[in-house]
Amino acid sequence: MARAFIGASAGSGGDGVDLALVETEGVGLNLTARVLHSLRYPLPREFADRFDRVFRAESGSWHDLASAHRVLAETAGGGVLQLLRHANADWGRVNALGWLGPTAWQCSSEGGTVGYPFTLESGSAAVIAERTGITTVADFRARDLAAGGTGSPAAALADWLSFRSTDEDRVLIHLGGAASVVFLPRSGRAGDIVAFEAGPCDRWLDGLIRHWTAGRERFDPGGRHAVQGRCLAPLLDRWMAHPFFARKPPKAMGRGEFAEALFARAGEQARQHDGSLQDLLCTATHLVVRCVADAIARWLPPADEFTFVYLTGGGTRNGMLLQLLGEAVNPCEVRRLDALGVPARARTPAGAAVLAALALDGVAASSPTLTGATGGRVLGHFSPGDSRNWAKCLAWMASQQSAEWEPRREAA
């Protein structure tokens, strides 16, 4: 039975909301997914500075955070309506919508003030449901963290359902705010998936140039500054000594691990080696490549088991980063996800759509092997759409057999 879902996502780059219309066949772990149409819907231009304060500079106010929560959702709602128009798709066919918003803050280890991991996703699911009339499933990371997981990469199982192959093992690398790695085995067993965040990426690179230039430059387009610099080997070695890189997967980076305090120290450390801004960015780019390449070599099967590494995320626009990464994972060939017939920017919204499908099917999207969560957990919370759409979702969920569930009585 074919079903239609919409996925929407926004990263920390502030470029806009990415959307995908996805058709699925099958149910649960027998599901297959195909992207029918995708687009990017821009954020309001006047919102850029506020977005930076909340998701990049980490200096935003509560007003900025609340505003971002609303504006992202309004943008997503407008994007959904445009997606349906462009795809000439029938609203009534859509079962549900999955939303993966940018993380305003996350601490995946016991670093909270009372010793609990926590996450805060931005983008109001209630507003998206109100604007579109489509039941919206969101906040997938929160339930995973509550069950003892890392919360990221949230859509690893969705990646497996969408992009696995019986002919080859595949490695997907997302070069977003952080660099994440997902290994998709050809074995056909979900339990063999390996997924984790390998280290910092765009949020790190953008934070450094923004701090160094006192906010005059928000990012390094195409790596044009970095390519003019030299790698400061002692500084790179110092950064690679960060304890995060020694942790065994599953693992995810907290927002505070490569953050504002480190940006200031990085500039001082570069000056100790007579380094310029270009040298600092060059070294920081080498750090991204090193942590990804080391993670692949250390935590994945031998490189001769897979031929291609598929890339997504804003970091794919950084020519220097791509060149260095290609050299580091040789003999594997680096390709954009477009080589599989899916636009690279559609991966995350497609994953959100599949997560919504799994939630309706009552199928766990997290597990101890994926994120470290205790047992399997159905992820996401529901914001009902209009009465017709919500009734459709309820009827589908009622038709699915679910495992027996008992309330958890462990002490808090």
Same domain? For 242 and 334 the reply is yes
pLDDT of residue 17: 96
Q: How confident is the model at residue 109 (pLDDT cuts 50, 70, 90)?
A: low
Within-domain flag for 411 = no
Same domain, 57 and 157: yes
Is 240 within a domain?
A: yes
Amino acid identity, residue 374? T
Whether 408 maps to a domain, the answer reads no
**pLDDT score for 290:** 97
> What pLDDT does 387 receive?
97
Looking at the predicted structure, is the pLDDT value of residue 367 above 90? no
Give yes or no for residue 348 having a pLDDT over 70.
Answer: yes
- Summarize pLDDT for 93-106 with one digit per residue, the tens: 999 999 999 887 66
Looking at residue 316, what is its pLDDT? 92
Q: Cα separation of 321 and 223, whole Å?
A: 7
Q: Does a structural domain hold residue 406?
A: no
| Residues 60-90 as b or e (16 or more Cβ within 10 Å = b) | beeebbebbbebbbbbbbebbeebbeebebe
**In a shared domain, residues 109 and 176:** no
Parent domain of 395: 2-163+345-399
The domain that holds 45 is classified in CATH as: 3.30.420.40
Q: Is residue 297 part of a domain?
A: yes
Listed residues 290, 305, 340: the one ending a domain: 340
- Do 381 and 293 lie in a common domain? no
**What pLDDT, on a 0 to 100 scale, did the predictor assign at position 406?**
43
Of 340, 358, 390, the residue at which a domain comes to its end is: 340
Q: Residue 255's pLDDT is what?
A: 67
Quote the number of domains for the chain.
2
27 and 152 belong to one structural domain:
yes
Domain end (from 340, 356, 378): 340
Both 183 and 81 in one domain: the answer is: no
Higher pLDDT pick, 179 / 152 = 179
Give me the pLDDT at residue 93, please: 95
Out of 1-5, 86-90, 115-119, 318-322, which region has the weakest mean confidence (pLDDT)? 115-119
Q: Is the peptide bond before 243 cis (omega within 30 degrees of 0)?
A: no
Same domain for 331 and 187: yes
Domain shared by 11 and 156, yes or no: yes
Q: Could you tell me if 363 and 292 lie in one domain?
A: no
pLDDT at position 271 is 83
Do residue 383 and residue 258 come from a single domain? no
Tell me, yes or no, whether 144 lies in a domain: yes
Same domain, 59 and 180: no
Does 54 reside within a domain? Answer: yes
Q: Are residues 64 and 177 in the same domain?
A: no
* pLDDT tens figures, 220-233: 989 999 999 999 99
What is the pLDDT, as a whole number, of residue 339? 93
d(CA 232, CA 272): 10
pTM comes to 0.90
- 316 in a domain, yes or no? yes
Mean pLDDT of 346-361: 97
pLDDT of residue 304: 67
